[in-house]
Structure 1
């Protein structure tokens, strides 16, 4: 495996961990309700969805022969769950699960 890929995976994991841990360590309850720190952390949910969307679109743009079903399944799950529950967490997890299941389904038979 390439070193660049491992470094990118490690940095992504570290950033994800930091986004989860830092708010709990900063005692966000003591910050202003509309302060810049709260706005920054509120924006990370939609940023996660945008990142997953980009990660699923890029391979399709590079190779048009790829099956578009996982992309559309994941996108539909995100939009549907967001519309039902208005939960970034549920929409992100549901979209990733739908994308993964749609990717695995051709191999199940």
Structure 2
């Protein structure tokens, strides 16, 4: 087994464990939403979603518009529906439908 892969796996596992353990250890009974740790943890969800999104779209990026049309229009639909209705589930569903329709047409 590659030693670099093993080291990265252990570090990622340790980081994940710490993100789950530290809040339960240090925030017992506080419940203060303005505490620095609380604000940090509330930002990790959107940061993780953004990282997954970027990781998923990088292989799809191409210079031809026909190749990226489903990605651009589906992502645009997600943003537009979210700002219109302020509903994450509806925006996700709408973006998936637009992506599928554009993919089928192009």
Q: TM-score if structure 1 supplies the norm length?
A: 0.47
Higher-RCO chain (CA-CA 8 Å, sequence separation at least 6): 1
Say which one has the larger Rg: 2
Q: TM-score if structure 2 supplies the norm length?
A: 0.48
